[in-house]
Structure 1
Amino acid sequence: MALGLILHSIGIITVMIAIGVGLAKTFHFNADTREVFISLIVNVGMPCIILSAIFQIEIDESVIRKIFLVFLFSIVFNVLGIGIGYLFAVVFHKKVNRAKELAILSGLGNTGFIGIPLCAVLLGPEGALYAAIFDAGVDFTIWTVGALLLQKNPRIGFGMVRTMINPPLIAIVVGMIMVLVGYHPPFFMRDLFDRLAAIAAPLAMFYIGIMTISLIQSSSASFRNSRSTIWLPVTVKLVLMPVFAVLIGKALSLDEILLQTFLIQAAMPTLTLSSILFAKFSADEEIGIVTTIISTIAALFTIPVMVTLLNLYLLR
């Protein structure tokens, strides 16, 4: 993966986020506008990225095996990240009762909003497909391990399964079924998927820019209260986890496209959903907001550095 392409993509993302920051000054960002952005990204853009990728690459037995491998790797890797985050929290912040929140913030990344569009740009349709499968593993981990970790009285039931069903996951299942039964959608549908897929990355970056300004304006006290702990999830998520992804992937002798996908997805900042997840289970919502902002900004610098350094290691 060429450094120029990485810097080019990160530069475009930075400009898009800056546009979002500018847009934040033109309207009032509230719950309704937030839902519009999320609905367009999650319900339209991301499913179309997945369907566009599925219908652009040849799905054979090798690709299907890789899909199952990516899904299993994602779950194991994310659980490992949560475990490392919890261990670090216990060791370095014994007096702070935030170990569970710090563990989730350390282990789970924004592999949907940022990861899938970025993999689509850097690695093409095949990378986008594997990135979507990786994100499905993140969703599975969020609503199983993450939910159980945050619950005061952990319960496993149908509600947990229902929360894991979302448009991107449905797109993966429907697309794979179409491929397996040999159905090829007409050019009109494929062209529609391609065009709608293009909205995901800009909208996601605009949303991050708008959300960042909105949260900074309303959460200055949160920054002050969380500054002593914020380094931990940011360091684990943006530095340690990409290194572990490459080491594990290389130990498994994975091919280049899978290694690159794992590296990019592992390097993603903390998931945007964290504050919502914490609010749902009455956890510390403030640290989720602050970590999302700081890690997203920091990722603009760490992603090109980590991807470049670890790619040099892969070429050895």
Structure 2
Amino acid sequence: MAIGIVFHSIALITIMIMIGAFITKQIEFNNDIRNMFTTLIVNIAMPCIILSSIFKLDMTNELLSNAFLVLFLSIIINILGIIIGGLIASRVYPQLDRTREIAILSGLGNTGFIGIPLCAILLGPEGALYAAMFDAGVDITLWTVGSLILQKEKKVNLNTLKSLINIPMIAIVFGLTFSIIQIKPYVFFLDLFNLLASLGAPLAMFYIGMLLMNLYKARAVNSLATYKKALWLPITIKLILVPLIVLSIGNLLSLDNTIFQTVFVQSMMPSLTLASILFSKFSSDDEMGAATTAISTIFAMFTIPLMILILNMISF
């Protein structure tokens, strides 16, 4: 992976995040604005990135098996990160009683908002498809293992399973099904998917910038003062330790180059944006989730190029 392309992409992302932060100077980042952005990103832009990428590829048996391999690797990596975070937190901060939150924040990343657009930029349509499958693995882990960890009464019910059914997941199933039976939409729809897909990266980065600025001005500041000794743990595990483990495993496995690069990039994403919402749902510490999301996103702008630089220095 060319480090010049990475720095170029990170620079573009950083500028777009700064634009999002600047927007909060002009308008109030309230729930209506938040819902508008998340709806546009999750329900329109991300599905179109997925569909646009799938229909640009010739769906072979090898490509399909590779996609499901990425899904499997995603679940394994996510669970591994959760286990590592939980074990270290229980030993380093047993008195803090935040082991569950640290475990989730250590294992699950922002593979949708940031990961899919970034992989589309760096690795093209095939990378975007694999990134979408990795993000599907994050969703599966989040609403099964993640929800079980946070629940006081351990159970997976119908409402939990319904959370797995979302528009990006439907787009994956729809796109793969039509590609397998070799049916492509009319050119009009392909052009529409391509145009709407181009909104994904800018909207996602604007949202991250607005979220960061809003958290800085409000809750994240208080959370940082309360948990400043513990926040470094999930951030270090998520941004550095887990990617290094993936890099080491990739050195041992004979993975397709695009598969490995996609999995590696997705493994280094900052803590998931849904953390504070998920924690709030299960009466956990949502302020810690918000603070970790904000700070890990800022640090990721530096650790992502660093990790890819390490990748380029290692011969596979």
Q: Deviations over 1:191-242 (max 9, x none)?
A: 1100000101100100011011111111222110010101000000000111
Partner of residue 212, structure 1: 212
1:312 aligns with 2:302: no
Which position in structure 2 is the counterpart of 1:86? 86
Who is 2:252 aligned against? 251
* Aligned: 1:98 with 2:106: no
Alpha-carbon contact 2:18-2:209 (below 8 Å) kept:
yes
Write the deviation string for residues 107-127 of structure 1: whole angstroms up to 9, x where unpaired: 000000000000000000000
> Superposed, which structure 2 residues align to 1:132-143 within 5 Å?
132-143=132-143
Q: In the TM superposition, what are the counterparts of 1:290-305 in structure 2 within 5 Å?
A: 290-305=291-306
Inter-partner Cα distance in structure 2 for 1:75 and 1:245: 13
| Structure-to-structure mapping, 1:41-120, within 5 angstroms | 41-120=41-120
Separation in structure 2 between the aligned mates of residue 232 and residue 5 of structure 1, nearest angstrom: 30
One-letter amino acid of the counterpart of residue 256, structure 1? N
Q: Distance in 2 between matches of 1:310 and 1:226?
A: 32
Match of 2:177?
A: 177
How do 1:229-248 residues align onto structure 2 when only pairs under 5 Å count? 229-248=230-249
Instruction: Tell me how far apart the structure 2 counterparts of residues 226 and 63 of structure 1 sit (CA, whole Å).
Output: 44
CA displacement at 1:269 relative to structure 2: 0.3
Map of 2:121 onto structure 1 = 121
> 2:3 touches 2:312 (CA, 8 Å); kept in 1?
no
- Aligned counterpart, 2:25: 25
Q: What TM-score, normalized to structure 1?
A: 0.98
- Deviation sequence 1:38-96 (CA, Å, 0-9, x none): 00000000000000000001110101111111111111110000000001101111111
2:286 paired residue number: 285
Judge conservation of contact 1:42–1:168 (CA < 8 Å) in 2: yes
Corresponding residue SS for 2:25:
coil
Cα shift at 1:133 = 0.2
Contact 2:51 2:172 in 1 (8 A): yes
SS in 2 for 1:25: helix
Q: 2-side partners of 1:312 and 1:59: how far apart?
A: 33
With the length of structure 2 as denominator, give the TM-score of the two structures. Answer: 0.98
Shift of 1:250: 2.9
Higher alpha-carbon deviation: 123-132 or 65-74: 65-74
- Tell me the equivalent position of 1:187: 187
Residues 54 and 129, structure 2, Cα contact 8 Å, conserved in 1: yes
Structure 2 letter corresponding to 1:278: F
Determine the C-alpha separation between the residues in 2 that align with 1:249 and 1:166.
Answer: 30
Q: Which runs of 4+ in 1 moved over 6 A?
A: none
AA paired with 1:308? L
> Using the alignment, how far apart are the partners of 1:245 and 1:45 within structure 2?
28
* Structure 1 position 13, deviation (Å): 0.2
In the alignment, is the contact (CA less than 8 A) between 1:246 and 1:262 conserved in 2? no
What is aligned with 1:270? 271
Q: CA separation in 2, counterparts of 1:164 and 1:226?
A: 31
Q: Percent identity?
A: 51
Report deviation, 1:187.
1.0
Is 1:167 paired with 2:167?
yes
For residues 117 and 214 of structure 1, the distance between their equivalents in structure 2, rounded to whole angstroms, comes to 23
After alignment, is 82-91 or 155-164 more displaced? 155-164
Provide the rounded CA distance (Å) in 2 between the counterparts of 1:111 and 1:194.
20
1:30 is displaced (CA, Å) by 0.8
Unpaired runs of at least 5, structure 1: none
CA contact (8 A) 2:13 2:205 kept: yes
User: How far has the Cα of 1:157 moved from its partner?
Assistant: 1.7
Of 265-274 and 217-226, more deviation after overlay is shown by: 217-226
For 2:295, the aligned partner's letter is I
User: What residue ranges of structure 2 are gaps of 5+ in the alignment?
Assistant: none
Alignment of 1:136-155 (within 5 A): 136-155=136-155
